């Protein structure tokens, strides 16, 4: 699938072409889930599942909300319940995708309005992504873990742009003059200008970077070294990248090499057919191999990307998780982020396939390389 360039901009692609394909792929997966639950009606209200089934139809209004203002009810067909504020807009968005899904308004001032409509339509014997009937959230995550071609196209198009936005924002930093707020603002501006949402933005430097895994911006003016972290959401899908700028001591460079070794070990372990438990166990061993046993406990270690910042996240000790023995699918997008004390961290968006892995978070389409030969500005 090729993107069309919107005539209003040389940057923002018209992603409508792939949205219908994404919707159709999701509906096929939902049919399989419903069959496993005796064909019960399904209600989807969570922002991640609504973004998946709607093909990234709508940007978030409240980026912190867990329940979307748009709900999908899937039975014989698809019906939409939308906040009374959003009905007209959602009808127009569905029209652009040629989706004949009827939209019913739920009063924004009445929290029981949406559940009441659901009950009137399909009763209480439903499956959902939480809060109504039987919770099938894990089944939904499993079904969407392997991206379809149209979803992969969004990653391939936007991951380089998100990476370039982060690197360009760090390039605006003037040591001792620019504040971490200013650099974060530059990053957000670049993301918003291409239709992306910065759902996680961390910028910090110097002492805060050395002391904290999350050196959130506070108005400091770093003089020596600065880190930028972004998880950007585009069309409902997430892209994760970390980059550094400034001076690097020999000790920091050596630590970064060891951190990369941990990342490499994980990427070598993750392959279709392996279990997620095997992948995370290899991560724990890799920390030991570089002389940092147990340091993974000090920070999240990442996992598969998708309609959440991480669809799920394990540790080397999460043996009781239902995901531990789950098999890695034939194609999955991941982002692991091993880190060490002292401001050392690696994070990229990686496409895992049966052959070689591919780093998607590069600032140029011409420098996409396989996991075995990653290079470039990356994680200095």
Reported as a pLDDT band with limits 50, 70 and 90, residue 67 is confident
| Residue 40 to residue 259: CA distance in whole angstroms | 47
pLDDT band at 60 (very low <50, low <70, confident <90, very high): confident
Domain 149-373 has CATH 3.10.20.740: no
Strands ordered across the beta sheet of 197-205? 197-205, 225-234, 237-246
- What is the rounded distance in angstroms from the CA atom of residue 54 to the CA atom of residue 103? 13
The pLDDT value given to residue 27: 97
Indicate the domain borders of the chain: 4-143, 149-373
The reply to whether domains 4-143 and 149-373 share a CATH topology is no
> Backbone phi, then psi, for 279, in 5-degree steps?
-65, -50
Return the residue matching tokens 């992969």.
Answer: 152
106 vs 126: CA distance, rounded Å: 19
Q: Is 8 exposed, middle or buried (0-12, 13-18, 19+ CB in 10 A)?
A: exposed
Q: Which residues contact 38 (CB under 8 A, 6 or more apart)?
A: none
Q: Which of 225, 229, 230, 265 is nearest to 245 (CA)?
A: 225
Which pLDDT score is estimated for 11? 42
Model pLDDT, residue 157: 92
Mean pLDDT of 303-320: 97
Annotate 85-148 with DSSP letters as a single string.
TTHHHHHHHHHHTT----EEEE-TT-TTHHHHHHHHHH-S--EESSSSSEE-HHHHHHHHSS--
Residue with tokens 């029209």: 95
Query: pTM score, two decimals?
Result: 0.91
- 360 CA to centre of own chain: 13
pLDDT given for residue 354 in this prediction: 87
Rounded mean pLDDT of 361-366? 66
- Two tokens, residue 91: 């009808």
**The pLDDT value given to residue 5:** 38
Top-confidence residue, 320 or 62: 320
Encode pLDDT of 333-353 as tens digits: 999 999 999 999 999 999 999
- The DSSP output letter for 253 is H
pLDDT greater than 90 at residue 12: no
Specify the pLDDT at position 126.
96
Q: How confident is the model over 267-303, as pLDDT tens digits?
A: 999 999 999 999 999 999 999 999 999 999 999 999 9
Tokens of 20: 């219908």
CA 283 to CA 265: how far, in whole Å?
7
Average pLDDT, the chain: 90
C-beta of residue 222 within 8 angstroms of C-beta of residue 41:
no
Whether pLDDT at 6 is above 60: no
pLDDT value at residue 364: 55
Which one, of 78, 56, 184, 370, lies nearest residue 360 by Cα?
370
* Structure confidence at residue 372 (pLDDT): 35
Give residue-wise pLDDT tens across range 76-103. 999 999 999 999 999 998 988 889 999 9
Superfamily classification of domain 4-143: Creatinase/prolidase N-terminal domain (3.40.350.10)
Element (H, E) at 81: strand 78-83
Taking the C-alpha atoms of 357, 361, 363 and 369 in order, what is their torsion angle to the nearest 10 degrees? -10
What's the mean pLDDT in 323-342?
A: 97
């Amino acid at each position: 699938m090729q993107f069309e360039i919107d005539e209003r901009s040389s940057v923002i692609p018209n992603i409508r072409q792939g949205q219908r394909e994404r919707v159709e792929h999701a509906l096929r997966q939902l049919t399989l889930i419903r069959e496993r639950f005796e064909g019960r009606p399904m209600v989807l209200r969570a922002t991640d599942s609504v973004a998946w089934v709607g093909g990234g139809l709508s940007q978030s209004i409240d980026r912190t909300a867990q329940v979307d203002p748009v709900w999908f009810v899937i039975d014989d067909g698809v019906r939409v319940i939308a906040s009374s504020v959003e009905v007209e807009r959602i009808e127009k968005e569905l029209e652009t995708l040629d989706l004949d899904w009827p939209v019913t308004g739920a009063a924004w001032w009445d929290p029981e309005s949406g559940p009441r409509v659901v009950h009137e339509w399909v009763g209480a014997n439903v499956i959902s992504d939480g809060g109504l009937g039987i919770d099938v959230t894990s089944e939904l995550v499993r079904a969407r873990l392997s991206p379809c071609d149209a979803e992969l196209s969004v990653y391939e198009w936007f991951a380089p742009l998100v990476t370039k936005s982060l690197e360009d924002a760090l390039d605006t930093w003037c040591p001792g003059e620019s504040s971490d707020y200013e650099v974060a603002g530059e990053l957000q501006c670049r993301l918003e200008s291409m239709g992306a949402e910065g759902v996680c933005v961390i910028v910090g430097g110097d002492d805060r970077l050395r002391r904290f895994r999350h050196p959130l911006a506070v108005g400091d003016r770093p003089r020596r070294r600065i880190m930028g972290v972004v998880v950007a959401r585009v069309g409902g899908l997430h892209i994760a990248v970390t980059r550094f700028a400034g001076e690097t001591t020999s000790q920091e460079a050596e630590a970064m090499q060891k951190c990369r070794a941990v990342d490499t070990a994980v990427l070598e372990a993750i392959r279709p057919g392996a279990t997620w438990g095997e992948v995370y166990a290899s991560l724990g061993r890799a920390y030991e191999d570089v002389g940092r046993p147990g340091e993974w406990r000090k920070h999240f270690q990442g996992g598969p990307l998708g309609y959440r910042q991480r669809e799920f996240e394990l540790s080397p000790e999460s043996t009781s998780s239902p995901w531990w023995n789950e098999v890695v699918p034939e194609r999955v997008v991941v982002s692991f982020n091993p880190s060490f004390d002292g401001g050392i961290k690696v994070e990229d968006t990686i496409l895992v396939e049966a052959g070689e892995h591919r780093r998607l978070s590069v600032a140029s389409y011409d420098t996409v390389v396989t996991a075995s030969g990653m290079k470039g500005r990356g994680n200095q």
